[in-house]
Amino acid sequence: MPESKAKTAPKRRRAPRGKLPQGAHGGIEILLVQSVEHLGRQGDVVEVKPGYAKNYLLPQGLATIATDHHKRMVEKHRVRLLELEKARTAKLQSLAADLSKQSITIEANANDEGHLYGSVGAPEIVNALKRQNITIHSDQVRLKGPLKELGLYTVKIHVGQEIESELKVWVVPTVGEEEMPEQPAQQPPPEA
């Protein structure tokens, strides 16, 4: 009877442990899998501090270790990466153009002088845009401070990749909760 061979699981590649390859300035050279704001674009080889690479970029799947093999693969696919980047940039520019054409109205409680009892901030602007089927995040809204008075404001929206747009925001008093001026009582029509 032939001897049965034990099945062995295929070997899996593990993330590098211990020391990671160092770059010229003492950091770690990594290859960006996705564009990271203030760091680089997809396919760029950048050098970062070891903690930033180990604790954020590598675990989040935003980057990989810049081996010679990975660098060759990026060069091979550079044209495709540029096409994807152009398509993404065109989409962001389209969103920026849509935002610049928009005007949103936000109702808020205010006193007689026009001062708000609270304030209007990024979350209220994001919610108003969601009602118009435009999705942005509150960290993309660039306010110099909360809006505390009634009026028209121009708010900058950072769409991404150095693309910004301006949005018109109307802050108006809440309708329906204010006391309506009393009207003279109308007499019912005489019955015939």
Q: Which candidate, 22, 21, 33, 25, places its Cα nearest to that of 58?
A: 33
Q: Are 103 and 132 in contact (CB under 8 A)?
A: no
Query: 15: Cβ–Cβ under 8 A, 6 or more apart, which residues?
Result: 58
The pLDDT assigned to 74 comes to: 80
Global pTM? 0.57
The pLDDT assigned to 15 comes to: 46
Domains of the chain listed by start with CATH number: 28-76 (3.40.5.10), 93-173 (3.10.430.100)
The pLDDT assigned to 152 comes to: 92
- 71 SS3 class: helix
The pLDDT assigned to 165 comes to: 92
Q: Which residues of the chain fall below pLDDT 50?
A: 10-15, 177-185, 192
